[in-house]
Each structure stands twice: as structure tokens, then as C-alpha cells.
Amino acid sequence: MRRSVWFLLVMVMITLSCSEQEEQVTRDVFFGYFPLQVGDFAIYEVDEIQYQQNVQTHSVYELKTLVVDSFLNEEGGYTYAINQFRRTDSNKLWSAIESASARVSNREVVVNEGNTSYVKMSTPLLKGQKWNGNALNNEGGDERCGTDPAYSCDNYEITSVNESFATTLATYDQALTVMENNDPDILVKYDVRKQVYASGVGLVTVEKTVLNYCTTPPACYGTQYVDTGYKYKQILKERGVEK
């Protein structure tokens, strides 16, 4: 009897140990593409066009993200506080614009922007993996999730893993591409968004084009008159650790 109890205890300990190791391995995989530690900073070149009643406003600037703190969260991991800054060029001083946060679990990577949480990655990190990027907010989306026709979502999809990727500033040997939406509709709403992460580096580029076209017939339907929208491109320029 004692041997049976001892055997069961050993098996439970082995199972828990294996589970903890698997969770750690998954976290390590996430951190490979989404590294986080206090002091990490990244500087990006940003090219942005805002549309309002078919009028364009063009902005070019630099964006800096800086991990300033971390604290234990309810999942037993850490949430990292991130400050963001902006300047018109490298000769100007940084101006604080907003704060964000990020956390990595054994299941997903969650980024909170403007008090809204987005699931940026989800296991397994395999090509074709899909999930609802808006699962933790109430923004819904233009796509169906599951069998309920009333439930809308924003399906994210991994379209490449461990493939080389080049920006205008650098080339990365191992990169992961997440297509956050891919609807190149030119009549009602054009919505194409993607983010690319490099192994050991993190986020290297963001590309978003969201254009809401005028649909009033017959005046402007099909003319690609943009009521509202934007084009946004963000490319990593520099990354390091502030002491």
C-alpha cells in the first residue's frame, strides 16, 4: 500500500514537473520573438497618412518604446510597463505620447494599447495558426468566429515562421509574420494589417492600411473616395538596453 501511494506521489510530481517545463518552453518561444526586460528600448521610423473626406495628412516621425517596469500578474507571470515617445527627427528631443503594457503567458502574448488588450500571438506558433485578436476586448471585427453568426471577431493568422525577412534598414534570418487582417476590398473597406517579429529582436515592422470608402450611390460608390482611414508603416531602426 505504501509503495502504491509513493508511486502515485512520484507520478504526480513528474507530471507537474513536465507541465511546468512545457509552460517554460512555450514562454521561451514567445520571448524569442517578443523579448521583454526592463530597460529594453526600440526606435522605429514611422510613415503615416491620415485620410478625412479624401484629404490626406502626411506625417513622418520616429517612435520609441521603452520598457520601464515589471510586476507580477494574476497568471503568475510578469506584466511589463512600456512608455512610448515621439520626435520629428533624430535631432529633436523625445516627447512622451502614451503608455502601454505587455505580458507573455504559456498560451499567448497580450499587448494593452490605449486601455485595450489585443492578443498578438497565440500557441502553437505554426504557419496557419489562427485566433481572435480581439478576444480580450469588445471591438469585435468583420469576421465570424465559431458557429454563432452573431459573434464577430478579428482573425489573426501566422503566415510565416522562421523565414528570412528584409526591411529597408536590415535583414533578419528568422522572422514570424502575423497577418492581423487581409481584406483588400476596394469598394467598401480596405483592411490589410500585418506585423513581423524577428527572433531575438522582437517587433521589426508594422504595416497597416485601413480605408473606409464612400458607398453612397451613384455619386461615389466605386470611385475609391476615402471617407476616413489611414496608412501606417513602422520599421525598426535601433534596439538596445538602457542602463
**How many residues comprise the chain?**
243
Domain count, the chain: 1
pLDDT exceeds 70 at position 10: no
DSSP 137: S
The mean per-residue pLDDT over the stretch 34-52 comes to 97
Q: Please determine, for residue 40, whether its predicted confidence score (pLDDT) is greater than 50.
A: yes
> CA-CA distance, 24 to 175, in Å (whole number)?
21
| Chain segment 148-196, per-residue pLDDT in tens | 666 788 999 999 999 999 999 999 999 999 999 999 999 999 999 999 9
d(CA 42, CA 206): 13
Task: Express each pLDDT in 48-106 by its tens digit.
Answer: 999 999 999 999 999 999 999 999 998 888 999 999 999 999 999 999 999 999 999 88
Burial readout 145-182 (b: 16 or more C-beta within 10 A, e: otherwise): beeeeeeebbbbbbbebeeebebeeeebebbbbbbbbe
Cα separation of 168 and 188, whole Å?
31
End-to-end CA distance of the chain: 58
List beta partners, residue 232. 48, 208
Cell 501566422 belongs to residue: 158
Kindly report the CATH number assigned to the domain that includes residue 161.
Answer: 2.40.360
Give the chain's mean pLDDT.
88
Largest CA distance in the chain: 85
Find the domain containing 213 and state its range: 2-241
Question: What is the spatial distance between Cα 189 and Cα 98, in angstroms, rounded to a whole number?
Answer: 28
The pLDDT of residue 22 is: 40
Give whole-number Cα distances, 69 to 12, 38, 79, 147, 155, in Å.
36, 6, 8, 41, 31
Kindly tell me if the per-residue pLDDT of 2 is higher than 60: no
Nine-digit cell at 46? Answer: 514611422
Residue with cell 517596469: 69
Alpha-carbon distance of 226 to 119, in angstroms, equals 29
3-class DSSP assignment, residue 185 = coil
Please tell me which residue, 17 or 34, carries the higher pLDDT value: 34
CA 122, 127, 133 angle in degrees (round to 5)? 35
Amino acid at 117: S
SS3 label, residue 78: strand
